[in-house]
Structure 1
């Protein structure tokens, strides 16, 4: 028994240094892991979230209210605080630029937002920018940023179709995906993007085609890619000129000329066209039927305005396809511009931006082909 006890003591004595060494190793590993985590956190890409309001910042009376709610209620700090997962994706800071529903955006808001995006893009410590935005005019704001902010850093617009208070709200995942895209190196150089419903779209092509479904945003030429469990999958790249390839620079634009849209339909009267002409607008985008058709009773009014110096852009209210020059109307004869595949609201944006450079219709048509 005495020998057995001595043997046990010897075994414990021999084991203690090993256990101590293991404990020290574990402590060292823990410290190293903590240091590595700190390094990784410090090395995270910095994404600035510019909040402008919209449904993603909205709130309903109950969880059942997914389509009836008040937009632009939740500040950016609260949006980010409710999504702690973003801190694993990037180092995120937020700014409240506006707190409005996007249907209330004007040219003034476009200019203010674009100038702030441009300022941030010039900062060495900013790697990407996310703009939270109401969905009603997000495609227009995105296209404007695509045209005038000269940076290769990711600019990502995001919104939601349901307020955060609703059952199955889509805003949190949309925002997380948008921040992930903005933080990723592979989104650089692709211009302004819209991330909605797990899809990555170029802001140039995307349009809101449904008003109460989460899959509301569609590009007729297809999305650029998808986000699945935080990983980007790319399938194509934008071809049209944008951002660093653009001849337009928000730093040189202080105001936008007046451009309005005249919507066409069966039995349309020339009243709107006449009123717009009398108001002194610089350009009228005619949202025609089919291939940008213009009713015979409207043609004389538009040609008269064109002869007096108002730029006429012939577009289509049809959500897909593109307007062919000199088809349906003799555009060369009338000196009109065709909008190509841009919908009327985006044609308005491009016309306004282009008119800050030129009023020559041949130059304007070139711009519509290239952008």
Structure 2
């Protein structure tokens, strides 16, 4: 066992002043020393922290590492003596096979490249509507509330069949669950409200199916409880991650004017720009896995039952995989980022997210060619980094 490896007793979260897009420097420095480090959880349990691209990708693809939350320890909470319940029915992100496949397989056909391309025209209309509203409200707005949050909210709610009049409350509840700032009481209240609403929605779709994903799923053997869990997972994933990619991506472009100018000059660059922003920002920044048996990883033995923390944002800045990894380069050729994960749990809605980002970024920078930050970059407020999703509280812009 290599005693020279660094040991972390807390997961670094603070980004450096003037570098809001870079992972914490302690994680970068750890990866420079070794792609794997020791980790001691709040309750004293021993674990590992993976920061290198190749090692992290191998963990995500290895069925010997489990996604089951009831087996895990967590970087910010002492769960010693606490019985962590298994994932609720339908919440397949925290399940292994075969339970994971039971929920994912009926959804795969709903999120194909072809079906998402067919949605492009509707995403363009939703985006145009919000840009119209921005223009009327301008010349200064908070891009998070005017643009980044509502566009994916409308898209995912339409896809699931959530009535228009319920979308604002849905967005508010999901935000409380995901943003890392709400109290435990507020999070529980938001979770309860969403669960109660979904129970009513599932019953309504069973009685009167409409043209949406949830109605389609009522024609499977999934129970009402399972449909609630699947719907909650899709809502949370479809709202929060894409919303933060739209706001952080705009912030990154405005902070890199040469790259923004290149995208304005060449709209065909948008596909590559989306992939590079996913790599550069990596909003889904941290995951955990648990070894189900002893596994050799990076020259170390990961003992059965040990939790491994995976720093995806650090892996996506690994110079062994990406040239000049801390540079935002919209013409980058070395793809293969882990922004959507990897393996059996790779993001189910990644093609939908790509469509939303392509449409929204291109439309925004063309509608507002003089778009700029309304405050100094250092005054832009990010969400607390304790949240699993890297995100923004507000982004004041003007034009």
TM-score bin (small chain): under 0.3
TM-score with structure 2 setting the length: 0.24
Higher helix share: 2
Which structure's relative contact order is higher, taking Cα pairs within 8 Å and 6+ residues apart? 2
